[in-house]
Amino acid sequence: MIKILLVEDDAELALILTNYLTKYDMEVTGAEDPYIGLSLLTQHQFDLIILDLTLPGMDGLEVIPRIRERSNIPIIISSARDDITDKVIGLERGADDYMPKPYDPRELVTRIKTILRRTSSAVEEQVEKKEELFRVDKGSRTIYFKERMLDLTAAEYDILSMLIAHKNGSVSREQLLYESEHIDDDSSVKNIDVIISRIRHKIAAIDSENIYIKPIRGIGYLLSTNV
């Protein structure tokens, strides 16, 4: 269910919008006073704010930066003020959309869904980027950790790139040994432990607070990105 904070001092309009949005699986919490709206924002989790501009005690254009100080929640301005300056200032201060009153509630539903799809995609993209702790450049045979290049030997590159390819999954010492192009087949699997230790040391030079390569008893190692 989509959770909406409606900051609107027109009780009749607030009731109309609340009843209409409820039909579209939206839960609306109303606030006639901007200070109450700001307080509710700190107490509850909302997906979007519908904000009037002409409010008691504080103009809606002043409310927007107050919201932005604590949250990136999408904001739709809903206002009877049709001055283009209000629209420009509202958008510059961080609002996502501006709807001049009167408007058809069906359009409001469409605007809400469009904005939430857009913001959801942006969040997912940020998460994906955040999860890309390790980046392999196969052309230059280099590996970047947190966008900093690791100074690796050929054997270390082989081992770490295999662990990255199987991230969050275990890889046996034997597989690491025999699939590496730069480790002799007659080498001991204990050599893998030595190489892993060197890789860990180089990663720790960038991030010493987390352990990314973890031993799996009786099997081998696992590269964890869930730290």
Residues 101 and 178 occupy one common structural domain:
no
Provide the mean pLDDT of the chain. Answer: 91
Domain with 194 in it: 134-223
% of the chain at pLDDT higher than 90: 78
Residues 63 and 80 occupy one common structural domain:
yes
CATH at 41 = 3.40.50.2300
Residues in the chain: 227
Residues 8 and 82 occupy one common structural domain:
yes
What are the tens digits of pLDDT across the range 209-227? Answer: 999 999 998 899 999 987 6
Residues 44 and 143 occupy one common structural domain:
no
pLDDT value of residue 118? 86
Answer yes or no: are the C-beta atoms of 27 and 2 closer than 8 Å: yes
Residues 100 and 207 occupy one common structural domain:
no
Query: In this model, does residue 194 exceed pLDDT 80?
Result: yes
At 195, the amino acid letter reads I
Using 50, 70 and 90 to split pLDDT, how confident is the model at 190?
confident
What are the tens digits of pLDDT across the range 25-57? Answer: 999 999 999 999 999 998 999 999 999 999 999
What are the tens digits of pLDDT across the range 82-138? Answer: 889 999 999 999 999 999 999 999 999 999 999 998 877 665 655 555 557 899 999
Residues 26 and 83 occupy one common structural domain:
yes
Residues 43 and 104 occupy one common structural domain:
yes
Residues 105 and 211 occupy one common structural domain:
no
Answer yes or no: are the C-beta atoms of 74 and 119 closer than 8 Å: yes
Residues 120 and 161 occupy one common structural domain:
no
DSSP-derived letter for residue 33 is: S
To the question of pTM greater than 0.75 for the whole model, the response is: no
